[in-house]
Structure 1
Amino acid sequence: MTTIRLIAAALTIAASAVTPHMAQAQQLTIQRTDLLRHDLDVPGRELVQVRVDFEPGAIAAKHSHPGEEIAYVLEGSLEYQLGDRRPITLRAGETLFIPAGVPHVAKNVGSGKASELATYIVKKGMPLVVPAK
């Protein structure tokens, strides 16, 4: 009976150690790296620049920004859908202008990693990413 309890305890400990790593791995499909945040000469506005890395199949859920975004694809293929428009696919070296407040989705449609350089001109003090319905 003691052996069974020891095995059960060992399995419980092992399962609890693996579970956080599995949850973390599922959340790491998109990684944002802040590069620059700087006030502009325009009152109440700032420039924010980030690198966004998408693992294969990763999707940035529908969202908007409190200002304009310029997306520049660094590598891979990303599909963007702005509002009700047809999706468009951009490849490395291509850019897209996303107007302020327009809900959009970004998805890695390539077989490898995809990355974009996102530059925002936004209202200072507002959340950079606003979930959309």
Structure 2
Amino acid sequence: MMIDRRTLIRNGGAAAAGALGVTALTPAVGVAATDPTDPTSGVTRTLLQRHPSPAEGWETVQTLVEIPRGKESGWHSHPGVEVGYIARGDVLMEFDDGHALRLRTGDPFFIPSGAIHNARNVGRETTMMLSTYVVDETKPLVTTYENENRPAKPHP
């Protein structure tokens, strides 16, 4: 399914959300008030573009992720790699194996396929991350995990 970026901008990405298997795709403009009791409240993923990958069965998806001050993406994984760039802000990228990376404005990052991770805004402004995924087109873009439901990974 090809998605016209102009249509996405007009519709706030809602038209593509179902096709991507993501319910959290929301417009970046006019971010709603956040719930202080929900650590992921106010986080948005705006679809910028989506195209078939040269490899059959795979697609390339690009999003703009915005994480308000003091909030986090929530623990999640993707069915392919994520290549990203911190356009604005400070993030602590946590992984379920206990490792963490401190990322600041201008830093690139790479997340392997299936890696369970959480992006926590540790800065003073809304973080903006440009994330590009090369993913299995038959699977949802994002699989979320509650803390108690995350699969345990052995520590080296």
Give the TM-score range, shorter chain: 0.7 to 0.9
Tell me which amino acid in the other structure corresponds to 2:47. Answer: D
- Post-superposition Cα deviations, 1:25-65, rounded to whole Å, max 9, x if no partner, equal 42752111100100012000000000001110111111100
- Would you tell me which structure has more helix in proportion to its own residues? 1
TM-score when normalising by structure 1: 0.78
Deviation at 1:125, TM superposition (A): 2.6
- Post-superposition Cα deviations, 1:41-94, rounded to whole Å, max 9, x if no partner, equal 200000000000111011111110000001210001011012314211111111
**Other-structure match for 1:88:** 101
Unaligned runs of 5+ in 1: 1-22
Q: Percent identity?
A: 36
DSSP 3-state at the match of 2:54: coil
* Structure 2 counterpart of 1:103, from 105, 116, 119: 116
**Does the CA contact (< 8 Å) of 1:82 and 1:98 recur in 2?**
no
Higher Rg:
1
What is the number of equivalent residue pairs in this alignment?
111
- Would you tell me which structure has more strand in proportion to its own residues? 1
TM-score when normalising by structure 2: 0.67
RMSD of aligned alpha carbons: 1.7
Query: RCO (CA 8 Å, sep 6+): is it higher in 1 or 2?
Result: 1
